Amino acid sequence: MFEKWIHEKLEDEIGTVRYNHSLDVMKVSMELAKLYGENEKKAALAGLLHDCAKIREKRKLLKMAGEFGIILDNVMKNNVELIHGPLGAEVARKEYNVLDIEILSAIKYHTVGKEDMSLLEKIIFIADYIEPNRKFKGVEEVRKLAFEDLNASLILAMDNTIKFVIYGGGLIHLNTVKARNYLKLEKSLE
């Protein structure tokens, strides 16, 4: 769907397993975009590149974040898995020539979400969570719900993530809490 060099560079950077995951996220993103009336090409590109900064060692992640001027809060400094979202937006812009701010924002917030997410941000967040090779407790329910009620699926996914992080003794990113609460309040007004 996109130029060959994008696919080759992405696979080289993140490895074949993560690249295949990205292809699956791209496909789900396109399905959801079609269903909910979002631009399918934007969804496809955001889905494909959402993990473009994923496979990097901690020291390199921190160094690259600094080079791009990304300010890391304490949660991200202590959970480097979360850095690939904001860093990925910068990598997509610089290395893949993505200039569309909606696509870049969807990549930036696909890990933790944010308050008042756009439709594209919601689609990329949930597509990453439910892509077909994801196998964990509760994913089937979220997967089904994503094609019926996008906001309800996001709330359930965030609830599951928050519980998982709490049970694991980890730190919950404030953006996830804000995103969840915003969606709950929005849902209560329907």
Give the integer Cα–Cα distance in Å for 108 and 96: 15
As a whole number, the mean pLDDT across the chain is 94
What is the 8-class DSSP label of residue 173?
P
Could you tell me which of 175, 132, 130, 189 has the C-alpha nearest to residue 156?
130
The full set of domains in the chain, from first to last, is 4-136 (1.10.3210.10)
Could you tell me which of 80, 89, 98, 77 has the C-alpha nearest to residue 51?
89
pTM over 0.85: yes
Distance of CA 171 to the CA centre of its chain: 18
Mean pLDDT confidence for 106-119: 97
What is residue 78's predicted lDDT score, i.e. its pLDDT?
87
What is residue 57's predicted lDDT score, i.e. its pLDDT?
80
Q: At what angle do helices 119-130 and 101-108 cross, to 10 degrees?
A: 40
Q: List CB contacts of 12: < 8 A, sequence separation 6 or more.
A: none
Instruction: Give the pLDDT confidence of 12-59 residue by residue, as tens digits.
Output: 999 999 999 999 999 999 999 999 999 999 999 999 999 999 976 888
Does residue 187 have a pLDDT over 90? Answer: no
What is residue 56's predicted lDDT score, i.e. its pLDDT?
65
> Tell me, what amino acid is at 190?
E
Please tell me whether residue 123 adopts helix, strand or coil conformation.
Answer: helix
Tokens of 93: 């812009």
